[in-house]
């Protein structure tokens, strides 16, 4: 069982090795909003079809330091026309120490993106509203489940990226 020591670190009681998880930096890496259907889209009754795509990637920056990027792309179609396209790449720099190698991919592929998601969701909502459209509140995402699904696909020897339109494309792009 891990104990929280109040500074974002945890001590692993069963291994004797101290585990430490720290968010060093959150940043907005890239953002894009296009409204090709505006202003005509504002006249139509708003019953959109939403396509939400998620992707994650990570890379080492140095000893025990990793850059993780969560990409969320939302395409809203109304009356068979694209009303808007919004993409946010939310980044974070994380320091991870004391985690067994077997746990590192899970932490980087599931836990870190889960920390980034609220920031990306807020940025998307702000862009959509500033674009003149009704607010968009993305539902919570179970990144652990998505990570496990991607891991299972990799173990079965299928493609490393998820099919278009799927909710996640796994730990790396």
Task: Locate 43 and state its tokens.
Answer: 């006249």
What size, in residues, is the chain?
173
Alpha carbons 19 and 148: distance in angstroms, whole number: 22
Cα gap 154→170, rounded to integer Å: 9
| pLDDT tens digits for range 138-149 | 999 999 999 999
Does 52 map to a domain? yes
Residue 78 lies in a domain: yes
- Contact 19/8 with Cβ under 8 angstroms? no
Burial pattern 37-48, b for ≥16 Cβ within 10 A else e, equals beeebeeeeeeb
Residue-range definition of the domain harbouring residue 104? 23-144
What's the CA gap between 74 and 171, in Å, rounded?
Answer: 20
The predicted-structure confidence for 10-46, as pLDDT tens digits, reads as follows: 444 455 679 999 999 999 999 999 999 899 999 999 9
Residue 158 lies in a domain: no
Is residue 1 a part of any domain in this protein? no
Helix/strand/coil for 136: coil
Kindly state the tokens that stand for 47.
């019953």
- Averaged pLDDT, 116-124: 98
Residue 173 lies in a domain: no
1: its two tokens: 């069982």
Asked whether residue 156 is domain-assigned, the answer is no
For 61-118, the pLDDT digits (tens) are: 999 999 999 999 999 999 999 999 999 999 999 999 999 988 999 999 999 999 999 9
The total of structural domains in the chain comes to: 1
The answer to whether residue 14 is domain-embedded is no
pLDDT reported for residue 2? 46
Is the sign of the CA dihedral 39, 40, 44, 46 positive or negative?
negative
User: In the chain, at which residue ranges do the beta strands (DSSP E only) sit?
Assistant: 2-4, 9-12, 18-34, 49-62, 65-78, 81-97
149 within a domain of the structure (yes/no): no
Query: What is the CATH number for 76?
Result: 3.10.420.10
């Amino acid at each position: 069982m891990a104990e929280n020591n109040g500074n974002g670190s945890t001590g692993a009681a069963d291994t004797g090795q101290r585990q430490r998880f720290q968010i060093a930096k959150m940043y907005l890496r890239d953002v894009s909003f296009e409204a090709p259907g505006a202003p005509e889209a504002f006249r139509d009754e708003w019953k959109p079809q939403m396509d939400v795509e998620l992707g994650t990637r990570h890379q080492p920056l140095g000893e025990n330091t990793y850059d993780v990027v969560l990409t969320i792309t939302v395409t809203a179609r109304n009356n068979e026309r694209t009303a808007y396209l919004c993409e946010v790449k939310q980044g974070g720099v994380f320091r991870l120490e004391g985690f067994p190698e077997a746990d590192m991919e899970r932490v980087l592929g599931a836990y870190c993106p889960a920390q980034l998601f609220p920031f990306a969701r807020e940025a998307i909502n702000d862009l959509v509203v500033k674009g003149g459209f009704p607010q968009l509140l993305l539902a919570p995402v179970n990144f652990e489940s998505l990570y496990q699904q991607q891991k299972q696909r990799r173990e079965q020897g299928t493609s490393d990226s998820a099919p278009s339109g799927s909710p996640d494309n796994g730990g790396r792009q």
